[in-house]
Structures are given as structure tokens and as C-alpha cells.
Amino acid sequence: MKRIVTIQDISCVGKCSLTVALPIISAMGVEAGVLPTAVLSTHTAIEGFTFHDLTREIPPISEHWQKLGFTFDAVYTGYLGSFEQLELCTEFIRTFRMSRDPLTGNEYPACVFVDPVMGDHGRLYSGFTTDFVREMGRFCALADVIVPNMTEASYLLGIDYLKDGEYDEAYVRDVLRRLCGLGVRNAVLTGVSFSPENVGFMGLNAESGEFFSYFTEKIPNVFHGTGDIFASTAVGALMNEFSLEDSLAAAADYTLECIRETLRDPVGCEYGVNFETAIPYLLRRIGKLNEMSGGKE
């Protein structure tokens, strides 16, 4: 079985970061190790949230894993809250850059997947500064894949944020080229929308120069936590040997299904989406339900 580690906070209630990454990646048949960076009562969009920093835990946890000889098929980082955490994650990635096949002993590179979680709708989340954004830009150079939204991309590149309807495909291509300029192997811009009916992603492979994109139905309401669902699903699909483009497409489809599930629910959740009841859809979408025991689809 493949094993990944995800480094981000745990917001105890709020359906984001680890409380979505862990169930989604596990459901996809991949072991999900976690390195929690902080414990919050809720995500920071809910007033009065508590915050307990776990930065000091990162080095001893990492050292213990090293001693045990653990390797990971992917390192997936999400919400990180300080310069020190970025530094420690850099060190962590350097240490765990290579994975090892337990049967053959052969080494191969782990996939480094960075979601530079910092903001949305043109604004940084509470607590983030432009200095942190600059350091996140440096951190992105370690990544095989980054998945910023338009807000995060604009901050990373120091350019004005454009709302949907204010940009075209040529603009997005230019943003992607500049994101690749940070040193990443694949830049993917999420939440790209060229029409009121559709939303999706556009990506660029820095090496081949090839662009790719995928669009689904756009539901206009604002839903929290969907970026984390998208990223977690993409990591899970990559670990199921999907290509990057197909992994991201599965992630986009599942994210839409989670939103549909929320709208179908008469007591829909106001701080996140119903990703739980959409898990059977996800397993069908990646062709896993039939092969899993108990799957009757």
C-alpha cells in the first residue's frame, strides 16, 4: 500500500485541512500519515477560534520516522502558519525526498505536492502577511505540483488580483508561466472560470511547456474547504497511478459532487461541504468501488 504524509493543521470542527485530507486519502486506499502543525477549535473563518501551535513537535516526529526508516510516496503540505514551519517543512522534504520500494529496496522520488493555502476571494486569510507569501514562493520551488487559487497566485507573483470575468485564457497562461518561474515542475491554477456556468483548473508542465485544463459546472455559492478537498483528492488519485491531469480532473468532479451533496442536504453544513456522503461517488469515479471488498456497484 502506498503511504503519504500530509503536513497541515487540524481544525477540530470545520471540515478543512486534516479533517478532510485524512478520510479522503484513506478512503482512496492510501495510508495517510499526518504531521499536524497546529490545533485549532475551528478554521480561522469562524470567529473566536483557538490556536495551539505544534511547530516544536515537527523535528522530533521527523527524527523518529527517520530512525524507523519510514519513507513516503508523497509529501503533501497544506495550511502552514509561520516562517519556522516553512523552514522545517523544507528540511522535512529534503530528508524524505526519496521513497523506497519495500519489496525491491529500489529508491524513487516522492511526489512533493504543495497547496500554498493563504487566501481566497482576493484576500489573505487572517494572520498571513506579504512576508510569509514571499517565503511560500521560495518553498514552492521544492514542489512537483502546486495548486494555488487566483488569490494565492496573485500574491505569490505580486500582481493584481483579477476577479472571474476580468481575465482570459491568455492571462491564465501567463500566470502559469510565471508560477513555473518559481521553480515548480507543474503549476496548476484552481478556481479558473471563463464563464458563469463553468469552473475548473488550468495547469502547465514546466518541462514540456504543455498546458492542460478541465472544467465542470459552476455552482455560484461560496463553500469553505473545497480547496483542501480538491488537493487531497488529487494526491489520492496520483497515488492510485492516475496521471496528474486525470488526478486533478477526478478531484474537480468529486469537489463538485461534494457541493451537490451539500445542496441536497436540508440541513446543509454552513462551514464546509458534505464530502462524506460523496465518498462512494469518489470511489466509483476512480474505479475503486468494484475492486474493494463489499463494493456492490
Interface ranges with ligand PXL (CB under 6 A): 9, 11, 16-17, 40, 43-45, 79, 117, 125, 225, 227-228
Nearer to ligand PXL, 114 or 283 (CB): 114
At 168, list the grid cell.
482570459
Q: Where are the beta strands (DSSP E) in the chain?
A: 3-13, 31-42, 51-53, 74-77, 98-100, 107-109, 111-114, 119-120, 123-124, 145-146, 186-195, 198-205, 211-217
For the chain, the first-to-last Cα distance in angstroms comes to 23
Nearer to ligand PXL, 16 or 112 (CB): 16
Output the smallest distance, CB 242 to ligand PXL, in A.
23
Task: Give the residue from 61, 71, 117, 133 showing the smallest Cα distance to 98.
Answer: 71
Output the smallest distance, CB 227 to ligand PXL, in A.
6
Contact 54, 34 (CB under 8 A): no
Nearer to ligand PXL, 17 or 262 (CB): 17
Output the smallest distance, CB 51 to ligand PXL, in A.
8
The pairing of strands 145-146 and 186-195 is: parallel
Output the smallest distance, CB 138 to ligand PXL, in A.
21
Q: How far apart are CA 90 and CA 156, in angstroms?
A: 18
Nearer to ligand PXL, 236 or 272 (CB): 272
Nearer to ligand PXL, 15 or 185 (CB): 15
Output the smallest distance, CB 40 to ligand PXL, in A.
5
